[in-house]
Amino acid sequence: MKFPVDFKEKYINLLGDDAPAFFEGLQTEAIKAFRVNPLKENYKNIEYPLDSPVPYVSTGYYGSVSGKSLEHQTGYVYSQEPSAMYVAEVGDIQPNEVILDLCAAPGGKSTQIATKLDNKGLLVTNEINRKRAGILAENIERIGAKNVVILNESPQKIAQKITNYFDKIFVDAPCSGEGMFRKDPDAMKYWHKDYPAECATRQREILTEAMKMLKPGGELIYSTCTFAPEEDEQIIEWLLKNYELELVPIKKYDGMDSGFPAFADNNPEMEKTVRLFPHHFKGEGHFIARLKDKRESVNSGVKIEKRNKKKKEKLVFRNLNKEETKLWIDFENATFSHQLFDIGDLSCWGDKLFYYPSSWPNIQNLKFIKPGFQVGVFKKRRFEPAYGLALAIKSTDTQKIIDVTQDEWENYVSGNIISLTERKSKNGWYALRCNGHIFGFSKLVNGTLKNFFPKGLRFNR
Ligand SMILES: C[S@@+](CC[C@H](N)C(=O)[O-])C[C@H]1O[C@@H](n2cnc3c(N)ncnc32)[C@H](O)[C@@H]1O
């Protein structure tokens, strides 16, 4: 691997005796890993070996997984390199917290945060780039979390609507990506001498907005995948100077380094942050800091606009009409063994049915990909369940399940129907399951399971 001359010079200066080992580390093979998903039933029932756990992430394992596997497609596994997995761990997520992941696609941290929330509290996950936000939405849908709102906005726009609100904010910042050179050598193409300083300017802009949204006493988790001091310790130094924040020490496991005080005016506090160097640690390059807001209260108070179901014309959502209410309740009764949602927590956006409790913030005028959890869609006097609903239920939620073989699953995800020649079931909606993994809803009509696998997700194995 040929590094830019300025990059080499910079790190020879910064790392001194450790520089040769640093460059050598960047030439070795990237480490692969994945996480399992406790939101799923029997979540360790997967074909991948779980004999090599990542020591600091209870759901993490070394090894690679295929994006076309049943396990990935049903959200049982998520491929993520081991350093990136430490960020959400550092955030120490507790169920019921209200969390913002401001720079979220493709969703490595958000999927981990959502599984830790365990469907309690709320995750607002945001990605500014429309295409990447779509990928984020697909990954969130697979993991089966019901308490996630997916926005596609600039941090500025969100901060205009929601202030002093979130318990925790993750800023996994767009950065110069030096820590990814080994995994993705193409990342080097964008690098030039001034690139880290340019990225730092953008990082300060994003953080300025993030700080407006953090509630007093809340926590900011800042991370990058770069080694550049301008984007790491010096950003933290800037935060400490400009806001009432204090660093919370991060536990260091084998091979993890502390941040370098020398990179930020010799501030000894930097020891509380963590640096992950590929030549010291089994993972890619990363930097993580955890900061706590010291304010007890704020003068302006919390600003979130609660939704007002009566002001129909101004809202994203509207109430269900009588027919829609009946269609949903009939479907729920026919399909599930218990009530899945409180009817008061359901709203319509156009013809789509969403779970969106009234305690969640009003996202009117913000661009979104998914304004809450999509339950299904109303179509000419009938209700059709959403693909994501199947991924969010367990076998104990329904007796209407049909088990299919691996071959039938492969056939189905490529867009085909399944013919049930030997199995006798009544016509209607069923959850489909393969090897214990529920993978979608289908309508059985006279022995044929119609294909409801989303067209945009279809693939051949
Ligand atoms: C390091 S990546 C995020 C990775 C993600 N957290 C994960 O774990 O999968 C940074 C993201 O920030 C987004 N981004 C770029 N400019 C931004 C801006 N001005 N404000 C917010 N996000 C931005 C990028 O599109 C990119 O998806």
**Does 107 contact ligand 1 (Cβ within 6 A)?**
yes
Q: 417 C-alpha vs ligand 1 centroid, how far in Å? A: 38
Residue nearest to atom 25 of ligand 1 (CA): 129
Q: What is the pLDDT of residue 306?
A: 57
CB 247 within 8 A of CB 274: no
User: pLDDT tens digits, residue range 7-41?
Assistant: 999 999 999 999 999 999 999 999 999 999 999 99
Report residue 249 as tokens. Answer: 């020490």
Q: Is the CB of 371 under 6 A from ligand 1?
A: no
Is residue 275 classed as helix, strand or coil in its secondary structure?
Answer: strand
Q: Is the CB of 206 under 6 A from ligand 1?
A: yes
Which amino acid makes up residue 459?
A: F
Q: Is 153 in the pocket of ligand 1 (CB under 6 A)?
A: no
Measured from the Cα of 174, ligand 1's closest atom is 10
Q: Which residue out of 80, 103, 195, 206 has the highest number of ligand 1 atoms within 8 Å of its CB and is therefore the one to mutate?
A: 103
pLDDT in tens, 36-51: 999 999 999 999 999 9
What average pLDDT does this structure show over 404-411?
Answer: 96
Reported ipTM: the value is 0.99
E-strand stretches of 179-309: 214-224, 245-248, 257-258, 274-276, 286-293
Alpha carbon nearest to ligand 1 atom 10, residue:
174
Ligand 1 center from residue 272 Cα (angstroms): 24
174 lines ligand 1 (CB under 6 A): yes
C-alpha 225/C-alpha 178 separation (Å) is 7
The rounded mean pLDDT for the chain is 95
How far is the centre of ligand 1, averaged over its atoms, from the C-alpha of 384 (Å)?
A: 34
Q: Would the CB of 247 count as within 6 Å of ligand 1?
A: no
Give residues with Cβ within 8 angstroms of 89, minimum separation 6: 56, 57, 112
- C-alpha dihedral over 168, 174, 177, 180, to 10 degrees? 60
Distance, CA of 176 to chain centre: 21
CA of 80 to the centre of ligand 1 (A): 16
- Give 139-152 as a DSSP string: HHHHHT-SSEEEE-
**Residues with catalytic roles:** 225
Q: Burial-class residue 416 by CB neighbours within 10 Å (0-12, 13-18, 19+).
A: middle
Residue 276 in 3-state DSSP? strand
Other C-beta atoms lying within 10 Å of the C-beta of residue 107: 28
The CA 421 to ligand 1 mean position distance, Å, reads 49
Q: Is the pLDDT of residue 220 over 80?
A: yes
Q: What stretches of 33-161 show up as alpha helix (H) in DSSP?
A: 70-73, 85-90, 108-117, 130-143, 155-161
pLDDT in tens, 285-316: 999 999 999 998 765 555 666 555 555 445 68
Distance CA 259, CA 261 (A): 7
Helix extents (H) in 26-106: 70-73, 85-90
Q: Report the binding-site residues for S-adenosyl-L-methionine.
A: 103-109, 127, 172
Q: Give the pLDDT confidence of 112-171 residue by residue, as tens digits.
A: 999 999 999 999 999 999 999 999 999 999 999 999 999 999 999 999 999 999 999 999
Check: CB of residue 310 under 8 Å from CB of residue 318: no
Longest Cα–Cα distance in the chain: 74
